[in-house]
Amino acid sequence: MAPKDQTLKIVTAQVHTLHDPERALDVLETRVRELSSEHVDLALFPEVFSAVGTFCDEKDHNPYTNHWRASADLGDTPKGADQKWMKRELPRPPNRTHRGEGTRERLEKIATDTGVFIIVGVVERCGGTLYSSIVYICPRLGVIGKRRKVMPTGLERVAWGQGSPSTLEAVSTTIKVNAKDEGIAAICWENWMPLLRQSIYEQGINLFLGPTAHATEIWVPLMQTIGIECNAFVLSATPCIRASDLPEWITESAERGDEIVSRGGSVIVSPSGDVAMAHSKNDDFVFTVDGLDMRTS
């Protein structure tokens, strides 16, 4: 058995987002604080968990405008400033202590206060475009990486732009003293892109992250395939959503029951392709795997 300082306690969260970005961040903070009390090292949340707004409502039938207003300005540039953005070297607006509207700073504070390494999906606005983005937040260093989904899927292309493939770089950190961790997130549909997966495998990662909103039976076998292909631990977070979680403009009824709309199905897979832990469907919880030996991948 590996020493405790070479193993991780990790979580994938099946928590659904809310249509109010501030409330979504409140939920994330509450969950992460609970995980911190259980000595969790790393938590993965689903695609676009934070800062997701309604696409339309009865008063305003401009869905893109609503989505835009509820998105997060992280202070980056349209091209993506990468290291300059992460190191806060970009110029700030006059009389402002930071770029953006504060989502980045709040996420960093949550990670710092709890000691939990957080990976979370955000709808990011930048320039005139929205992106499905993933942010990696280290409790010691703050944001150490961000990437934008390179290929929005289907109707997503109406709302989201294409991110640059240059962001497909693994983040490297040391969560425990004697265990170096290298990981990268492939967002939802990207996991079905073999060349994109290969570009990730070539970086020698030991954590493959698959945040998604995809809740079908085929998802878990895909994660198992990826585990075998890259010989790494695979973490996937998929939200569980009930009708009562949706706004009335979607359900077209004020009476919304608890029937399941999206079943979830988050999973953790070992480098051998075995399912280390899988969510029971139809719940809105997090689950934990303790003792991941990062030397095995």
Strand 7-13 and strand 42-44: the pairing is parallel
- 100's torsion region: left (phi>0), alpha (psi -120 to 50) or beta? left
Lowest pLDDT segment from 64-73, 112-121, 216-225, 265-274: 64-73
- Provide the sign of the torsion angle of the four alpha carbons 240, 50, 124, 140, taken in this order: negative
Q: Among 124, 138, 149, 190, which one carries the catalytic annotation?
A: 149
Structure tokens at 76: 């980056």
Q: Any catalytic annotation for residue 230? A: no
Q: Any catalytic annotation for residue 149? A: yes
Beta-bridged to residue 278, according to DSSP, are 267
Tell me the per-residue pLDDT of 51-110, one tens digit each, with 9 for 90 and over. Answer: 554 444 445 556 677 778 788 999 999 998 888 998 898 988 888 888 988 999 999 999
Report the run of H or E that residue 13 belongs to, with start and end: strand 7-13
Domain span at 162: 4-293
Q: Among 126, 138, 188, 240, which one carries the catalytic annotation?
A: 188
Backbone phi, psi, residue 95, to 5°: 60, 25
Residue type present at position 50: S
Structure tokens at 218: 């085929």
Q: Among 9, 47, 124, 230, which one carries the catalytic annotation?
A: 47
Q: How far apart are CA 180 and CA 165, in angstroms?
A: 25
Please, are residues 262 and 215 in contact by the beta-carbon 8 Å criterion?
yes
As a whole number of Å, the CA-based R_g of the chain is: 18
Beta-carbon contacts of 25 under 8 Å, excluding residues fewer than 6 positions away, are 50, 51, 103, 106, 107, 110
Comparing C-alpha atoms, which of 82, 86, 76 is closest to residue 167?
82
Tell me the per-residue pLDDT of 169-227, one tens digit each, with 9 for 90 and over. Answer: 999 888 865 556 789 999 998 999 999 999 999 999 999 999 988 777 889 999 999 99
Cα 64 from chain centroid (whole Å): 22
The domain spanning residue 73 has which CATH number?
Answer: 3.60.110.10
Residue type present at position 170: A
Please, are residues 194 and 28 in contact by the beta-carbon 8 Å criterion?
no
Structure tokens at 94: 């006059």
Q: What is the pLDDT of residue 297?
A: 39
Please tell me the total count of domains within the chain. Answer: 1
